[in-house]
Amino acid sequence: MLTGKNIIVTGAASGIGAETAKQLKAAGAKVIAVDRNEPDVPVDAFHKVDLTDEAALDALIEELKPLNADGLANIAGVPPTAPPEVVLTVNLVALKRLTLGLMDSLADGASIVNLASLAGIGWEGEVAKIKAAEGLDHAGVADFCTANGISSDNSYFFGKQALIAWTHENRWTWRDRGIRMNAVSPGPVDTPILGDFLETLGERAEEDMRIMDRPGTPADIAPVVTFLLSDGSVWLRGVNIATDGGMRANIDATSNGLS
């Protein structure tokens, strides 16, 4: 399905990123891993980087350009328990900088997949802040957080909301080259940060977890990312796929008076 394609996977050392790298390899792809830690799963190349370091990120972009990558899976992220400026930098600003920095070097027909989150529900109510964050660089994150009320309580929410909105905005941006961008929004996934995720979503998530059969696993999410990176998804543009065991559907149904 992906034989011979060069796919860059950020966050490949653990969780969903590691499982995605594993499944991409099984599908025939050449996996170029990006992380601050070396991955345990087999990959074809590894680039170590701290995404909070703008200069290091720019150097990484230059290193990756010659690949003419066929896909980019933006999976690296930090939990909501990290300082708000770190959350916003890694989960949004660095992700966008890497993607746009590589854009001219991506192969025609390339696929970009952003790992968003169920926490991104309600982005429509944050459009003013999302627009204010357009063009935000590493140096400006702290001041942006202060000016826009981004704190430990909402930094994870806002970062994922802005990422979903950015994915929708770019539904046709690179259509002339056949390059598409989509997103995947997991619900609670059984990784070391599951507790952080549930704490962030609060009572709503606790109630939904009580009626769900189980939390997800990286093996539930990675196949969706892999599909979006494959040629089978060429007609999907700017979509955000809820991959959450029905949690998003439950929220939508119950909030609109359906059982």
Q: Which residues are identified as catalytic?
A: 156
Q: Are strands 180-186 and 240-243 parallel, antiparallel or unpaired?
A: parallel
How distant is the alpha carbon of residue 176 from its chain centre?
24
Neighbours of 248 (CB within 10 A): 18
Give CA–CA dist 22/197, Å, rounded. 24
Give CA–CA dist 213/221, Å, rounded. 16
**Comparing C-alpha atoms, which of 185, 151, 150 is closest to residue 165?**
185
Give CA–CA dist 116/96, Å, rounded. 13
Q: How far is CA 141 from each of CA 122, 152, 176, rounded to the nearest angstrom?
A: 22, 14, 32
Which residues are within 8 A (CB) of 195 and not within 5 positions of it... i.e. 6 or more apart?
none
Give CA–CA dist 188/211, Å, rounded. 13
